[in-house]
Amino acid sequence: MILVYGLGRSGLGVLRFLRKRELPARFYDDRPKEIEVQEALSLGFTPDWNLEGDYPEVVAAPGVPLSHPHLEALKARGALILGEAELAYRLSPTPIIGITGTAGKTSTTLFTAHLLRGQGLKALEGGNVDPPLVSVVDEAEVAVAELSSFQLERIHVFRPRVAVLLNLGVDHLDRHGSVEAYHQAKLNLLKNLTPEDALVYNEGDPKVRRAALASPARLYPFTPGNSPRETNLRAALEATRAYLELLGRPLNTDLLQESLKTLPSPPHRFQIFARKGEVVFIDDSIATRTPSVAAALEAAPAPIAWILGGEDKGADLEALRPLLSRVRVVLAIGRDGPKMAEALGGGVEVVVLPQADGRAALRQAVAEALKRLERGSVLLAPLAASFDQFRDYQDRAQAFREAVYALGGEPWIPSSS
């Protein structure tokens, strides 16, 4: 009997995956949502709200830290704590390409799956990017998995045929406690590789290069490009080449050229999606790291109403202070938004949105922004995780868009000139 700890996108995906295999399981969630509980029940699973069962394995959602008292108690009773990627690897024969790094994971994942499809393979993406890995692994010839540090900290025998390590920066210090622990979680992607597997790595990152050279896998280095998109595309090209070579197939350059004409753009990354008069609205909900937010603040039309906050991941605010001259107002949402705005050091108006409900907070944030701007931009670049008020960054983005349209925003149409 397996316990699925945490519902949401990942946990419900796991339950569907287990149901397909007619494997017994029960479920638990710290903050159960009625609609999710009903779906779990409709799949034929029952809850264990008191965690009284003895479970050899617990599949824990990535948002639940391994240090959670319930997980520690279950582990003390003999349970092995694993995650969605481990489960998919163990129960499905489909080969997996695993992609991780501090930045660029989603783009590289989407690019790699797109390029492989262009070569005639049924490649499907999943994992940290929608949908869950367990939702696509059985339908694919090869599954391309975006893997976060949260997912990688709970793998054991997981072994991708191609591993892609993009970079090792600073992130999620609130969760992992130190840069070293965060990097170690990322490097778990490499720990089970063999000489039969391939490792695509960024040779411009010294820590990545050192880890790669210690791996027994076949090495496919790439060098960073002049932009994040170019860098991520170079990684995806090497991942595509590496997987085809494992199959004994050459890369078809004619098909590749066709695929390059239709590369996808990841959602919720600095997307101008609406306008009201001379004010544009920009969705950069996935901007949870300082470099991404700095780039957004530099690119957004000034003056900017900046929506900031959520669950602070240990962000460095110092690098953002020189950009505050472009900001008209900081709109602080979520658990840590007020604290983060205060840490910016003043010099700009701060409006605290105290609503516990994230959608209500974003509606008020948009209203406050429109009171202050006649031109410029309203930028959602939160520099924080979303889990205090939303399911994930995509839910946060959708709530922002709903708020904008409810308050008179109109879809933005790019100029053809």
Binding residues for ATP: 101-107
SS (H, E, C) the chain: CEEEECCHHHHHHHHHHHHHCCCCEEEECCCCCHHHHHHHHHCCCEECCCCCCCCCEEEECCCCCCCCHHHHHHHHCCCEEECHHHHHHHHCCCCEEEEECCCCHHHHHHHHHHHHHHCCCCEEEEECCCCCHHHHCCCCCEEEEECCHHHHCCCCCCCCCEEEECCCCCCCHHHHCCHHHHHHHHHHHHCCCCCCCEEEEECCCHHHHHHHHCCCCEEEEECCCCCHHHHHHHHHHHHHHHHHHHCCCCCCHHHHHHHHCCCCCCCCCCEEEEEECEEEEEECCCCCCHHHHHHHHHHCCCCEEEEEECEECCCCCHHHHHHHHHEEEEEEECCCHHHHHHHCCCCCEEEECCCCCHHHHHHHHHHHHHHHCCEEEEEECCCEECCCCCCCHHHHHHHHHHHHHHCCCEECCCCCC
Instruction: Choose among 313, 81, 317: nearest CA to 176.
Output: 313
Instruction: Point out the annotated binding site.
Output: 101-107
